[in-house]
Amino acid sequence: AASEPAELPTSLPATAPARGELVMGEPIELEVVAPPPLPAPKLADDREFLRGLLVRPDGGEPAAVKDTHPGDWLAKAGVGDGQAFRLEGYFDVPEDDVYQFQVRFAGELAVEVDSAALAVGDRADWQFLPVPLAKGLHRLTVRAKPKGKPSMSIRFGGPGCTSLDEKRFLHAAP
């Protein structure tokens, strides 16, 4: 059973510019309530999983990726300049909580967890994508097309984020 959403009381200071000065108002009291976690999907029992993630370049051969930390991991996986690709992986979370993906990428980008789209902007700098997840195995799908040379930094965690690697991620055998 999913746990109750965490309620986090906090206050937000109210400020406004007035005649060249910053005027402070009374703080606004807020209570942040996390949305219900995405349930772990049911997977076919006969699926074979391998360590790491799978990159599928459009028109190219799928390639297993053991670590997304090196700057050239996409090129080594066969993704060319401006070539669209899909990154797939499965990951386990130990408890119901709000987790986060962190992504830095220049180009078209879509990130899904268990077929639920995360709110991705069109910026090339770091984006922080929170996702509430229930305990269990979840699926990550990233669809992307770089503006030029393929380069992506992607991390996951809660608390603390690390690059995606074969220690935490699996992929279905192609």
Task: Give residue-wise pLDDT tens across range 4-56.
Answer: 555 667 788 888 888 888 888 888 888 877 789 999 998 877 789 999 999 99
pLDDT at 17: 87
Alpha carbons 113 and 132: distance in angstroms, whole number: 10
Model's pTM, two decimal places? 0.82
pLDDT digits (tens, 9 = 90+) for 82-102: 999 999 999 999 999 999 999
What is the percent of the chain where pLDDT is above 90?
A: 71
> Which pLDDT score is estimated for 19?
86
**Per-residue pLDDT at 7:** 60
Helix ranges (DSSP H) in the chain? 73-76
**What's the rounded Cα separation, in Å, for the pair 150 and 73?**
9
